[in-house]
Each structure stands twice: as C-alpha cells, then as structure tokens.
Structure 1
Amino acid sequence: MRAPTCSAFALTSTLALLFSLAVPASAQTPPTLDKAKASGTLTVAYRESSIPFSYLGGDAQPTGFGWEICQRIVNEVKKSTGRADLKVATQSVTSQNRIPLLVNGTIDIECGSTTNNSDRAKQVAFAINYFYTGTRLLVKSDSPIKAMADLKGKKVVSTAGTTNYQVMRKLNADRNLGFDLLAAKDHAESALLVQSSRADAFGMDDILLYGLRASAQNPAEFAVVGEAIQVEPYAIMLRKDDPAFKKLVDDTLVALIKSGEFETLYKKWFQSPIPPKNINLGAPMSQELRDNLKALSDKPAL
C-alpha cells in the first residue's frame, strides 16, 4: 500500500480538528458523578456579589442561600460516589462566563442567581426552581426615578450577560424611553456606577438589588423602585444531558422542601440578619415560590 502523502495527512488533521470543534464540549465531559468519583473533586461555582444566593462573606469565603443548598448536594455526591474524601474546589464565575465554564467542564454546578429560561436550556440544564424574581431598579434615595417611565433620557446600567440586560433593552425599545443602556461586568460594578452618579439607575432582579443595598456602606443611600417586570425563576445550573446528576440534585432539593429545611434556610437568608453587616433583607417568600414548593417544577421562563 502506498504511504499517505503529506497532503493526505494535512487533510486528515484538518478533518479531525473540524470534528473536534463540531462536538459540543459537554459531549466530551463525562457524567458529573463519574467525573467526581474518578477525580475525587467536585468544582462548585459561586458568584462574588449575588447576595443572598452566593457571595463572598466577611472572611472572603463563599456563603449564601444557594451556597448552603449546594453543600447539601455535595454531601449527597459523596454518598453516591462512595467518596467520603471528595474535595470541593470553588470557582468564582460571572454572568458572562458561567455557562461556558459549565459546558466545558471547568465547573460542575453553579449555585447562584441564574435565571432558568428556554434559551439557556439549549446549552445547560436546571434543577427544580428555587426562587422567583422580577426586574426592578436600584437608584439613589433622593432620585426622582420612581417608575420605569421615569427612565426617559437617563443613563441606565445592567450587568452584561444577564437576562435583565435584555429585559431593559426590550423595555427601552417597546416604550420608546430613549435611555442610554450601559453594561457592567458584575452586579457590584453596576451598583458602583449608580453610587458614583455615572448611571441613574441599575436594572436587575429585585432580590439582588435588596442584597446589594443591604451590603452597601450606607444602605439608606439607595432605594429599590419601579414595578416588577418579567417575573422569572432562579435555579441551580447543571450540565445538559446528565440525568443521574440532575436526579441527585432534584432529589436533594425535594428532601429539603419536604423536611421543612428549605423554608428554614429561606428564613435564615431572606428574613433574618445576614453577614457581613447583619442586615435583614425582609423579603417574604413569593406566591410563585410557595406554589413551586408543591409543584416541584423546573419549568423555564420563556
């Protein structure tokens, strides 16, 4: 048989490269439980400023409502894999990189404030919805902005890579408000733009705005205003097409809900003083969430 020519080798290499690029990263990542058992490590992602879901506490370590729930999930992973020695690696993520890092296997689960919607469900999977929220505005307390209509001609910021940025852009177009929409890298930067008067308002999920206000040096400097737009569910984010891990995560949430521990955790993080400044968000459980504690649905927003 004649030896392949250089051009044949080049063609084979090119086809191999194209094939590898065509295969989704998630297809190259083994199932999460198998990966954890083999490596002895589960990588849990958190957000640095998504109070009270996951954020950095006074000791610069991740904490929060979603973070605590993920620790319960870690315990179940240890049992399922037989790895009592399982190590938990932590990884900070942003709105922009959380999905790519999950898909390519850098992180295994994200415990933050990610909206479960149909578009994202094309790339990732979500556990049972564990919170519901709507887009509102963070402004300075003395701001004349009290409603969405007051944004006309103003500078408005939202965090890049979030559904809220899209909601604010659509609102601007639909109502012909003509505001200048800015994109910040994370929630903390968005809030800073309002504090420094470089933006007049910050459009984001209302519960995150309450959390940012509570963590500010002077909480009284800020107010959360405006009618809630587009109520959406939050859920813990997982890799797509990993049914065994999704079942473990969902089963953990169901056990927390049925035992009453979920409601205890909710009261701890949303209706009690929380670190680092021991401020109470005073956010009662929404009717949407109460309904889902019975329905146990992972239904996405449209």
Structure 2
Amino acid sequence: MKHPLRSRPVKKIALFVFLSALALPAHAAELTGTLKKIKDSNRIVLGVRDGGPPFSYIDNNQTYVGYTIDICSRIVDAIKKEVGAADLKVEMLPITSSTRIPLMTNGTIDLECGSTTNNPERQKQVTFTNAHFVTASRFASKKAQKIETIDDLKGKSVVSVAGSVNIVQINKLNTERKLGITVQTAKDTVEAFLLLETDRAAAFVMDDVQLSILIALSKDPAAYTISKEAFGPPEPYGIMLRRDDAPFKALVDRTTADLYRSPEIGAIYRKWFESPVPPKGINYRFPMPAELKRAFEHPTDSPDPAAYRN
C-alpha cells in the first residue's frame, strides 16, 4: 500500500515537468522549411536590387538601402526572435527581374525585397506577403513627342523591363488593338530609361511610381510626361516568399500586418517618397496613393486588383 505522504512530491514533480514543457516555445524543436534553413545556417539571404530607388538600391557607402529594405529589416528582426539567433547573418544578393523568381524557388534567396508585382501567374511559382505598395502601369515619353494615349503609340518603338508584368501588358494591348508596336526589352529600369532618353524608344512602359522616380533622377525632368491612361488596373507589390511554407509565411504576414497598421509605416513611407533621399537628396514628392492607404488599413496578400480599389 502506497504511503499517502510519499505520493504528493511525485505528483508535484510530474505536474512541474508537464507545465514546464508547456511553457517551452513550440517552435524550439519544430522549425521547418525556411525557418529551419535559416536557423541551421545562421544566415538569411535577401534578394535586393542595386538600382531600384527608393525601393532597393546601393547608396554612396555601397550599402543597400530603401523603402522595401526597411520593411524587410523589420521582418528579419522578427525572424531573429523566432529562431533564437540575435547574431543572425544577413546577406544581400543582387537580383534582376529575370532572376528573382528562379533564385527564390531554388532556395538561394529567402526574402525578395524590391518592387515585384503580386499577380496570379506568379502565385503559381511563389507566394507574397501583405502588399507594401500599389501602383498602375503607364508610359513615359518626351513632351515634345506629344504622345498622350496608348493608341498614340501605334507603329512606334516601346521599351520595358524583361520579365516584368509591363511587357505582358504591352504585348496584350498591342495584339488587341493591332497597334504594330515594336517592343524592346531592357535588363532593368535604368537601361530602359536610357533608351527613352536617347530616342531609341518613343515610350517607356513601367509602374507609374518608378517612372516618376526615374524622371526626377534624369538630367531634364521637365522634358518628360507620364500618361494618364493606364495599361491595366491597380497592381500590388509584395515581398516574395517560397510557396508551401506556411510557418514562415505566417510569421512574415503577422510582422508586416502589425507594421502596416502602425504609425511607423507612415514614417517609413515619408522618409523614402516625400523627403530628400540619398545619395543626391532628391525628393520624389510622391504622396501615398489612396489604394495603398487602404491596403495598410486592411493588410492583404491578394493578387486581385479589386482588393485595392477604394
């Protein structure tokens, strides 16, 4: 027969062990996918642009900076806490429109921190966190050319960036409207704008915010205009992640949603779009679009343009 006084310490010890187990972080022994990869290697690799101001670019100190870099930095802080690695090494890997998806799917980069459009076609290969920007595809041209509408591009040479959504939109409208446009591709926005600047292309099709930025950086900003007519509906930018990695996506979604609902995102936006930006101190004077304000109030990773209309 058990002694009643001896059974109590055993029960207390068992209860203590049980409660202690519950108190342990669930992820401590259960990291999978990208989080496990990051923990095991003690590093995270960010896919970044070296010439995409103010989203992601290199400043005079050869440091990657920008609006999306700031957002990704908040995500990295959350990942450090999640995997318990305060000394986590953060690597920056330059990417282009053509390489960003392959480098994500093959595991080379863990977060893509630039200005990539979230759409259904890309969702077949990768996934995205909550939108950090909303834009529309338009074209820039020289005022002297007096090209005001998409139909005015008939028979002309038009440039955009290889691998971009804009190329798809140009080709679609070119076919539908039988415009006879000669479509040129450039490796990045800087090369594309150079073709416009040197009259090797009559127009440059790109997201309106990027066109505004490139014009502001040009030798003669007053020489250019941006079309009022858009090639399509509003388009969300999202930070790209690998597909089928629910724990990692949940962490990134939670982190971005908290940031976007906070006053901090307004300060980050004003820093890069409404204040002098390094290295030249240019203010792009691009107020936050109403669609983006709505996206921050109601964070969403939807690729559907309707989700961003007011």
**For residues 167-216 of structure 1, what are the alpha-carbon distances to aligned partners after superposition, in whole Å with 9 as ceiling and x for unaligned?**
11111112222111111111111111111111111100011111212222
Counterpart check, 1:242 vs 2:234: no
Counterpart check, 1:277 vs 2:280: yes
**Cα distance, 1:113 vs structure 2:** 0.6
Structure 1, unaligned runs of 5 or more: 1-29
**For residues 78-113 of structure 1, what are the alpha-carbon distances to aligned partners after superposition, in whole Å with 9 as ceiling and x for unaligned?**
111111111111111111110000000111110111
In the comparison of the two structures, how many residue pairs are matched? 273
CA distance in structure 2 between the aligned counterparts of 1:93 and 1:144, rounded to whole angstroms:
35
Which residue of structure 1 lines up, in the alignment, with residue 139 of structure 2? 137
Which residue of structure 1 lines up, in the alignment, with residue 23 of structure 2? none
1:45 pairs with one of 44, 47, 56: 47
CA distance in structure 1 between the aligned counterparts of 2:139 and 2:151, rounded to whole angstroms:
12
**Cα distance, 1:69 vs structure 2:** 0.5
**For residues 138-167 of structure 1, what are the alpha-carbon distances to aligned partners after superposition, in whole Å with 9 as ceiling and x for unaligned?**
222423212212111111001010001001
Larger Rg: 2
Which residue of structure 2 lines up, in the alignment, with residue 198 of structure 1? 200
CA distance in structure 2 between the aligned counterparts of 1:47 and 1:170, rounded to whole angstroms:
27
Which residue of structure 2 lines up, in the alignment, with residue 124 of structure 1? 126
In 1, are the aligned partners of 2:56 and 2:64 still within 8 Å (CA)?
yes
Give the residue type in structure 2 aligned to 1:152: K
Which residue of structure 2 lines up, in the alignment, with residue 151 of structure 1? 153
Which residue of structure 2 lines up, in the alignment, with residue 268 of structure 1? 271
Which residue of structure 2 lines up, in the alignment, with residue 169 of structure 1? 171
- RMSD of Structure 2 on Structure 1 (CA): 1.5
Give the residue type in structure 2 aligned to 1:139: S
The worse-fitting range, judged by mean Cα deviation, of 201-210 and 218-227 is 218-227
The TM-score, its normalising length taken from structure 2, stands at 0.84
In 2, are the aligned partners of 1:138 and 1:201 still within 8 Å (CA)?
yes
Which residue of structure 2 lines up, in the alignment, with residue 183 of structure 1? 185
In 1, are the aligned partners of 2:44 and 2:89 still within 8 Å (CA)?
yes
The worse-fitting range, judged by mean Cα deviation, of 102-111 and 218-227 is 218-227
Give the residue type in structure 1 aligned to 2:140: L
**Gap change, CA 1:38 and 1:66, over 3 Å in 2:** same
Counterpart check, 1:64 vs 2:70: no
Describe the SS at the equivalent of 1:228: coil
CA distance in structure 1 between the aligned counterparts of 2:254 and 2:100, rounded to whole angstroms:
24
Give the residue type in structure 1 aligned to 2:203: A
Which residue of structure 1 lines up, in the alignment, with residue 257 of structure 2? 254
Describe the SS at the equivalent of 1:204: strand
In 1, are the aligned partners of 2:170 and 2:231 still within 8 Å (CA)?
no
CA distance in structure 2 between the aligned counterparts of 1:164 and 1:290, rounded to whole angstroms:
24
CA distance in structure 1 between the aligned counterparts of 2:89 and 2:216, rounded to whole angstroms:
32
**For residues 190-246 of structure 1, what are the alpha-carbon distances to aligned partners after superposition, in whole Å with 9 as ceiling and x for unaligned?**
111111111111100011111212222443343322412222110000000111111
CA distance in structure 2 between the aligned counterparts of 1:139 and 1:90, rounded to whole angstroms:
34
The worse-fitting range, judged by mean Cα deviation, of 224-233 and 162-171 is 224-233
In 2, are the aligned partners of 1:44 and 1:91 still within 8 Å (CA)?
yes
Describe the SS at the equivalent of 2:158: strand
Which residue of structure 2 lines up, in the alignment, with residue 22 of structure 1? none
In 2, are the aligned partners of 1:50 and 1:211 still within 8 Å (CA)?
no
The TM-score, its normalising length taken from structure 1, stands at 0.86
Which residue of structure 1 lines up, in the alignment, with residue 37 of structure 2? 35
Q: What percent of counterpart residues are identical?
A: 46
2:299 pairs with one of 290, 296, 300: 296
**For residues 266-297 of structure 1, what are the alpha-carbon distances to aligned partners after superposition, in whole Å with 9 as ceiling and x for unaligned?**
11111222122222222222222122222211
**Cα distance, 1:135 vs structure 2:** 0.8
2:229 pairs with one of 217, 227, 230: 227
In 1, are the aligned partners of 2:261 and 2:297 still within 8 Å (CA)?
no
Following TM superposition, the consecutive aligned residue runs of length 4 or more in structure 1 with deviations greater than 4 angstroms are none
Describe the SS at the equivalent of 1:300: coil
**Cα distance, 1:50 vs structure 2:** 2.2
Which residue of structure 2 lines up, in the alignment, with residue 82 of structure 1? 84
